[in-house]
């Protein structure tokens, strides 16, 4: 075939301007891919439309919506089964004992004060609360955001600021630092001390809400204080 004839052949097989015209009508009787349909029509049978969702012999992926519903149903069944198993009184009590031992171990590791341990045991280690509550405390201890650890950290920061202030006083009395620098250092220390003191008060207030006796349980709220070296730290 000569090169000059190639464009003419393409013109016969493909209409490059099809998008500018009318979409032709479709007739399955003239479609070579519809042999089964044409045979049924020839036999006088009436083709029935395929039912929605019917099997066609090809495994088609379900839509995302259907998959999401199936996933939620399966998860719901697993959750319901786990809850039913966990709500068994014996297993609940066993779980509570295990979590309590873990919390005690964390207290030893972080050197948590005894007064917090006594208050927490009195409120939570008596079977009133679900083990999930204890699990939340164990997680908070593991990730360093438990209320008691926040108080300890805040107090340590305040004590460091007080130690810095005492050191600055000693340096000033000895005259080993220029007055201008002493004044600048004093302003920085006092600002830091004010900030950490506020953090201490706020953290102790949050801690008290954690260890205050539960509603309906007798217990002196006035004894829920943070003691440092045997004294109420807020006084």
Q: What is the pLDDT of residues 96-141, one digit of tens each?
A: 899 999 999 999 999 999 999 999 999 999 888 888 899 999 999 9
Average pLDDT over residues 91-95: 85
Indicate whether 158 pLDDT > 90: yes
Residue with tokens 């593991």: 142
Q: Hey, what long-range contacts does 101-105 have (CB within 8 A, 24 or more apart)? A: 102/138, 103/134, 103/137, 103/138, 103/141
pLDDT at 80 over 70: no
Tokens 């012999």 belong to residue: 57
Per-residue CA distances from 118 to 3, 9, 122 (Å): 98, 95, 6
Q: What is the pLDDT of residue 95?
A: 87
Strand ranges in the chain using DSSP code E only, listed in sequence order: 227-228, 231-232
Q: Is 207 exposed, middle or buried (0-12, 13-18, 19+ CB in 10 A)?
A: buried
Quick one: pLDDT at residue 130? 85
Q: What confidence tier does 35 reach under pLDDT thresholds 50, 70, 90?
A: confident
More confident: 7 or 194: 194
Q: Length of the chain, please?
A: 235
Global pTM?
A: 0.59
pLDDT (tens digit per residue) in 181-193: 888 899 999 999 9
Task: Report the distance separating Cα 101 and Cα 104, nearest Å.
Answer: 5
**Whether the Cβ atoms of residue 185 and residue 122 lie closer than 8 Å to each other:** no
Average pLDDT over residues 68-83: 53
Residue 15 pLDDT more than 80? no
């Amino acid at each position: 075939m000569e090169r000059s004839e190639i464009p003419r052949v393409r013109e016969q097989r493909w209409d490059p301007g099809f998008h500018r015209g009318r979409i032709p009508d479709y007739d399955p009787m003239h479609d070579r891919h519809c042999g089964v349909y044409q045979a049924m029509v020839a036999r006088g049978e009436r083709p029935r439309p395929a039912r929605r969702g019917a099997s066609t012999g090809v495994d088609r992926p379900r839509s995302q919506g259907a998959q999401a519903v199936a996933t939620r149903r399966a998860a719901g069944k697993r959750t319901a089964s786990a809850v039913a198993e966990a709500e068994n009184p014996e297993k609940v009590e066993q779980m509570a004992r295990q979590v309590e031992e873990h919390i005690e171990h964390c207290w030893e590791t972080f050197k948590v004060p005894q007064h917090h341990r006594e208050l927490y045991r009195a409120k939570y280690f008596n079977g009133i609360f679900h083990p999930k509550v204890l699990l939340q405390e164990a997680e908070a201890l593991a990730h360093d955001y438990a209320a008691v650890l926040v108080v300890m950290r805040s107090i340590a920061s305040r004590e460091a600021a007080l130690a810095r202030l005492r050191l600055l006083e000693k340096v000033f009395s000895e005259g080993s630092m220029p007055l201008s620098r002493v004044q600048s250092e004093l302003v920085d220390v006092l600002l830091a001390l004010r900030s950490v003191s506020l953090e201490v008060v706020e953290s102790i207030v949050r801690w008290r809400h954690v260890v205050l006796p539960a509603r309906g349980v007798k217990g002196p709220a006035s004894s829920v204080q943070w003691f440092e070296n045997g004294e109420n730290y807020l006084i």
